[in-house]
């Protein structure tokens, strides 16, 4: 029998575009955020006090907002558009509303 041909849902589709420099930077931020969220879980498990936990949670929130802003800027530059889409200023307004929801 030949190797496993089951599609792995995690695998990016063949067509996935190469990562830009901003993509790499956003990914790095998200990895750090993931670690911070794990840190939050540990703080709860360790019975840490409310101030420490809320300070950490507030940091995660800021980090997320910064990532969102970076994605938005990238989008305004034409990247991460739907295939064939040209970004207009109105598109950016629509993207901003997604962020606020």
- Identify residues 39-78 at the interface with a second copy (CB under 8 A): 40-42, 44-51, 53-55, 57-58, 60-62, 64-65, 67-69, 71-78
Sorted by sequence, the CB contacts under 8 Å of residue 76 that are 6+ apart come out as: 87, 92
Backbone angles phi, psi at 79, to 5 degrees: -80, 155
Contact at 8 Å (CB) between 29 and 63? yes
Would you tell me which residues interact with a second copy (CB under 8 A)?
Answer: 10, 12-13, 15-17, 19, 23, 26-27, 30-31, 33-34, 37-38, 40-42, 44-51, 53-55, 57-58, 60-62, 64-65, 67-69, 71-78, 80-82, 85, 87-101
């Amino acid at each position: 029998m030949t190797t496993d041909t089951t599609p792995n849902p995690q695998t990016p589709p063949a067509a996935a575009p190469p990562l830009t420099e901003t993509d790499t930077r956003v990914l790095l931020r998200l990895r750090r955020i993931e670690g911070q969220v794990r840190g939050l879980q540990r703080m709860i498990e360790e019975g840490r006090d409310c101030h420490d936990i809320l300070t950490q949670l507030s940091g995660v929130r800021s980090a997320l907002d910064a990532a969102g802003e970076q994605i938005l800027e990238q989008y305004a530059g034409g990247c991460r558009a739907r295939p064939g889409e040209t970004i207009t200023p109105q598109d950016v307004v629509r993207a901003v509303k997604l962020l606020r929801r």
